[in-house]
Amino acid sequence: QSVLTQTPSVSAAAGQKVTISCSGSSSNIGNNYVSWYQQLPGTAPRLLIYDNNKRPSGIPDRFSGSKSGTSATLGITGLQTGDEADYYCGTWDSSLSAVVFGGGTRVTVL
Amino acid sequence: EVQLVESGGGLVQPGGSLRLSCAASGFTFSYYAVNWVRQAPGKGLEWVSGISGSGGRTYYADSVKGRFSISRDNSKNTLYLQMNSLRAEDTAVYFCARQGYSSYWYIDSWGQGTLVTVSS
């Protein structure tokens, strides 16, 4: 059971938009910054979003992040077949003094 | 270009020990905190341990506390994870991961991972 809760799977047609939620508590998301990672099949994760809503260089603006209270959201617009992957949220948990990840969300492009 | 290359994985019996290494290049190693993150077969990401740039501060997940030890040698640009009293549930791909240069935690670079299998 992960400390951060993510919907196990989402799907949408190519070109459409999906949102992935990440729910936590005041000890993690509520008082720390959230990052998001994409893991394509058989590869290492890749940073998509850090500090709640910042994109590293090279990440297209189709990917966006936001945070409200103890929840965070990753949005993907203009969905492409290459976006089929597992997506994870992560942050520091001040009570545990540990990093926590969500259980992951698999995105399927119909 | 940032590169993180893990080594040292393999098959080990329950109760055994293993030491993982991560060779870093392409950046000033001592400036960055680094972490170990693992992924059991077919499962999600699990943070294992982290260490500050100087090595003075270390952090562990409860699941490995007392059994694993993280360390670094900044003169060799290398990160280590000493794993003792290994259990079947420690079977996973172990990723070396560089923490972003920020006050807040995130990982900005990942290695390709090394597989650790704990089985008799």
Q: What is the pLDDT of residues A56-98, one digit of tens each?
A: 999 999 999 999 999 999 999 999 999 999 999 999 999 999 9
Contact B50 A86 (CB under 8 A): no
pLDDT of residue A102: 98
DSSP, residue by residue, chain A: --SBEE-SEEEE-TT--EEEEEE--TTTGGGS--EEEEE-TTS--EEEEBTTTB--TT--TTEEEEEETTEEEEEE-S--GGG-EEEEEEEEETTTTEEEEB--EEEEE-
CA distance A99 to A101: 7
Residue A31 dihedral angles phi and psi, to the nearest 5°: -135, 20
pLDDT of residue A104: 97
Residue A57 dihedral angles phi and psi, to the nearest 5°: -60, 140
Contact B106 A51 (CB under 8 A): yes
Residue B103 has pLDDT above 90, yes or no: no
Residue of chain B whose alpha carbon sits nearest to that of A54? B106
pLDDT of residue A1: 82
User: Is the Cβ–Cβ distance between B58 and B79 less than 8 Å?
Assistant: no
User: Is the Cβ–Cβ distance between B47 and B58 less than 8 Å?
Assistant: no
Tens digit of each residue's pLDDT (9 = 90 or more) over A30-58 = 999 999 999 999 999 999 999 999 999 99
Average pLDDT of chain B, as a whole number:
97
Residue A56 dihedral angles phi and psi, to the nearest 5°: -65, 160
Contact B110 A44 (CB under 8 A): yes
Using a CB-CB cut-off of 8 Å, the residues of chain A touching B110 are 44-46
Contact B105 A88 (CB under 8 A): no
pLDDT of residue B46: 98
Using a CB-CB cut-off of 8 Å, the residues of chain A touching B50 are 99
Using a CB-CB cut-off of 8 Å, the residues of chain B touching A44 are 95, 110-113
What are the tokens at B29?
């190693």
Using a CB-CB cut-off of 8 Å, the residues of chain B touching A35 are 105-107
In angstroms, how far is CA A84 from the centroid of its own chain? 13
What are the tokens at B55?
């090595």
Tens digit of each residue's pLDDT (9 = 90 or more) over B20-59 = 999 999 999 999 999 999 999 999 999 999 999 999 999 9
Using a CB-CB cut-off of 8 Å, the residues of chain B touching A9 are none
Q: Which of A99, A100, A101, A105 to mutate to test the interface with B (most CBs of B within 10 A)?
A: A99
Mapping DSSP onto H, E and C, the string for chain B reads CCEEEEECCEEECCCCCEEEEEEEECCCHHHCCEEEEEECCCCCEEEEEEECCCCCCEEECCCCCCCEEEEEECCCCEEEEEECCCCHHHCEEEEEEEECCCCCCCEEEECCCEEEEECC
Beta bridge partners of B88: none
Residue B1 has pLDDT above 80, yes or no: yes
Amino acid at B99: Q
